[in-house]
A and B are shown apart, each in its own frame.
Chain A
């Protein structure tokens, strides 16, 4: 038994790592810049002036806190042309652009010169004050100056982000035009000529071969994945200690959000799994006991058809029939309580009594989803057991049919019930998204649904990782329980 447990636990760890890797890969591929999203959520948006000042500093701190200034993983596979310090570039789009440019030319030196020169132009451009220019020149209006400087600033910004040569040429042309026509732009002229020169060098680079030779860079434990999973010991606790990050929607810690919502989903799935077993076990037994009778055949067909009926259709039908003023308005349409009369101070039973009508339809739908499936499994399992030798022995020694079925056969056919352990936790955290959305139950399912609609990636990734972890733990517990109940398994 010990050996079996050890073996199971040992195979369990690599799977956890694999799940964490999978969700990490998904999370770093999420579109958009986390810092932008978070600072937006925190309400740090301001005018252009503020953008360049205080909020930029806040963003930088945020970036550092999120670990975005670190390499992504312990090691990185790239080619020898790409610099191993590329991860230090802060802007996600600049980084992608530099990577692409290096890929095009194979010459990191030229690319970084090009990039730095562009940054220099941007810096000079920032120091150009429209007002000063307006005072020193006479022939143009302030509006025109503003428009031109804005346009040039925008062009440079997009040059930093694009590697599409057609677009680059277009931007070069417009900037050259402005340079020719407006003398107040002359401070950026030297750098601009240099940029054009470097761009040509990138295009005609002879070092392309460098991109064909792979290289592996080792960064050590100071990386984003490590930080995300294990934390850094002070401000980040890491996933394994329950620090899941901050929601993009309202800047709340995700763990608090989950704790607020998980209760309702957990109790719903617990109740409905219990109900599903309560219904499906007798049906399964009856069906197996009367195998091939007309009742069994009819039941099987009905179960089969029910099994093919999507639960979201059933849920919507229930709403249509029982929570609809046109038909029968027996139950409320959505939510789990009436906000006008619900009082959080109520006792446990009063709350339940109040919520009952709200929960009946969801519980029916929830139960429905697993009951047809479970009954079918139960029937097959029971048929298997009933044909075993020891059942024949039990009959041969004269036991009553009821005792044979309910005592000898049922016990063994209930073994698969243990599998429920594997399913119950992830169901609670993942919730049944569809059912909760149909009935607007404020549980985990609706939470996930909203986070998907609002692109709240930290939440999505956390739920995904947690339910993966919990399923694995569930499987592990179920396997060990199996081994306890049926010692033959651990000897295999």
Chain B
């Protein structure tokens, strides 16, 4: 270690990475995580009931890569219309394809195989309808290698597409949580209770500005926002973004206006106990049982996987905020931050350009743990069938099917192992990077 420290090119990142690499199990977990990400990214090409490539009556088609609503008209060499292929409802298996490349698992997660309904076991007898329309024993290619559920959906395909959802849950919810947590934690830790000071008039105007900002952004625009969300998630997010920008604009306007008021008694400076506010908020959120809070909120809003992710994010920022705050408390008295301040950089610049990059290491650990618990919560919710719509296949909902029908052991073992593995991977990476980033915390 001394050798490394003496090296002129010593970089903390390199050091941490070297430490991390020493933990072989964690390294394996990291590779597994990459595999999961790849599986999630390419899920539609790994498990799909449409072939990747097909030659049909002289036409070359790439059905798996096309959008669902694509339609192809097939003409025979004389120019006569023979067939209209509507991609989402065509049964590709019954077509006489000249050449075909099937995905690894030739089933879609929601596709119901009506010849293999009622919990067909992985190594049991499976039926198949071949292109001549005869029911035969299943060829190995079309075997449900992990079995099916009660309505004939392929388990392997469901698991592969479930990878997407579990990764999305982790990313989206912890993305939201980190935004809130890092912002609040940074403010609380950097300013503490007695560092953020402003003139009284400015403080009052800021408060009024926040009031007006929220009034215009959410009171005045609530119909615009709800209309946006009813038109689709992206237009809803656009409207929300406009609202947030509006809040900042209004607050800024009021702060600007406060400069013009120069009354002696109102120009005294006062401290804003921002740390107390944030700490109390964390304490409050921590004292509410999180799963119950999430369940309560999901009970009153409509069922949607996105809303579940957002709620998990909004309720999950306290750990991140605590770590950021603690790190900023330490960092704010270090030389480089003081140098930045004495150079006259604004507080915001000092926080986000100088202090934050140096505070992120422990925060990263808490985010990784957070992802694990977000996935745990989501799979718990879909196990109960709360919040997540019924038509979305997730690991939790598959496990729930298994619980309701204990004979279908494959519906318990495989999804359960998928959840367990993913959570272990994240926890393992989190723990190893904590040890690597901050050896003092090593337990």
A residues contacting B by CB (< 8 A) are 11, 14-15, 18-19, 22-23, 26-27, 29-31, 77-79, 100, 103, 211-212, 214, 301, 304-305, 307-310, 312-313, 316-317, 319-320, 323-324, 326, 333, 379-380, 383, 426, 430, 433-434, 437-438, 448-449, 452-453, 455, 457, 460-461, 463-464, 467-468, 471-472, 475
What mask results when residues 406 to 440 of chain B are scored 1 for a CB within 8 Å of chain A, else 0? 11010011001001100110011001000000000
**Chain B residues near A475 (CB, 8 Å)?**
287
B311-365 at interface with A (beta carbon < 8 Å): none
* A26-B296 contact, Cβ under 8 Å, with A15-B284, A212-B220: yes
Task: Return the chain B residue nearest A456 by Cβ.
Answer: B299
Expressed in whole angstroms, the Cα–Cα distance for A3 and B307 within the complex equals: 44
The residues of B that contact A26 with a CB separation of less than 8 Å are 296-297, 300
Among B79-87, B198-206, B239-247, B379-387, the stretch that binds chain A is B379-387
Contact A317 B416 (CB under 8 A): yes
A312-B380, A313-B420 as given contacts; A18 in contact with B292, CB under 8 Å: no
Q: Across the interface, do A23 and B420 meet the contact criterion of CB distance under 8 Å? A: no
Contact partner, A305, options B212, B299, B383, B424, Cβ 8 Å = B424
Q: Are A319 and B406 in contact (CB under 8 A)?
A: yes
Main secondary structure of the interface of B (DSSP, over half): helix
Q: Name the contact of B220 in the complex, choosing from A11, A211, A461, A472 (C-beta under 8 A).
A: A211
Contacts of B297 in A (CB 8 A): 26
Query: CA–CA, A463 to B296, complex, Å?
Result: 9
Instruction: Give the residue of A320, A437, A452 whose beta carbon is less than 8 angstroms from that of B409.
Output: A320
- Who on chain A is nearest to B422 by CB? A308
- Range for the number of chain B residues in contact with chain A: 35 or more
CB contacts (< 8 Å) of A317 on chain B: these are: 412-413, 416
Q: Does B399 contact A (CB under 8 A)?
A: yes
Contact with A along B197-230 (1 / 0, CB 8 A): 0000000000000011001100110010000000
State A323–B412 Cα separation when bound (angstroms): 14
Count of A-B contacts judged by CB separation below 8 Å: 135
Check B416 against A463 for contact (C-beta < 8 Å). Answer: no
Pairwise interchain contact A214-B299, C-beta atoms closer than 8 A: no
Expressed in whole angstroms, the Cα–Cα distance for A432 and B303 within the complex equals: 22
- The 3 A-B pairs with the shortest beta carbon distances in the complex, nearest first, are A313-B416, A308-B424, A464-B296
Does any Cβ of A come within 8 Å of B274's Cβ?
Answer: no
Contact in complex: A468, B288 (CB < 8 Å): yes
Does B291 count as interface, using CB distance less than 8 angstroms? yes
A15-B284, A460-B299 known; A319 vs B292 contact (CB < 8 Å): no
In this complex, what residue of A is CB-closest to B281?
A18
Given A78-B219, A103-B223, A461-B296, CB of A310 within 8 Å of CB of B443: no
Q: Within B118-169, which residues are at the interface with A (CB < 8 Å)?
A: none
B403 adjacent to chain A (CB < 8 Å): yes
Name A18's closest neighbour in chain B (CB-CB).
B284
- Chain B residues positioned under 8 Å from A11 (CB to CB): 280
Contact between B289 and A457 (Cβ–Cβ < 8 Å)? no
The SS class assigned to the A binding surface is: helix
Which residues of A sit under 8 angstroms from B170, Cβ to Cβ? Answer: none
The answer on a CB contact under 8 Å between B219 and A308 is no
- Complex Cα spacing A100 to B224, Å: 11
Given contacts A309-B420, A460-B296, contact A19 B380 (CB under 8 A): no
Q: Which residues of A sit under 8 angstroms from B385, Cβ to Cβ? A: 453
In contact, B399 and A464 (Cβ under 8 angstroms): no
Q: A310 and B419 in contact (CB under 8 A), knowing A305-B424, A461-B296, A464-B292?
A: yes
Is B293 an interface residue, CB under 8 A from the partner?
yes
> Which among B216, B223, B372, B443 is the interface contact of A379 at CB below 8 angstroms?
B443
- Cβ of B402 within 8 Å of any chain A Cβ, yes or no, is yes
- Please report which residues of chain B, range 264-305, place their CB below 8 angstroms from some CB of chain A when the two chains form the complex: 280, 283-284, 287-289, 291-293, 295-297, 299-300
Output the nearest chain B residue to A383 by Cβ-Cβ distance. B443
Flag if A326 contacts B287 (CB, 8 Å): no
Asked if B392 is at the interface of the complex by the 8 Å CB criterion, the answer is no
Q: Which residue of B lies closest to A100 (CB)?
A: B223
| Contact A464 B293, beta carbon cutoff 8 Å | yes
Residues of B within 8 Å of A313, CB to CB, are 399, 412, 416, 419-420
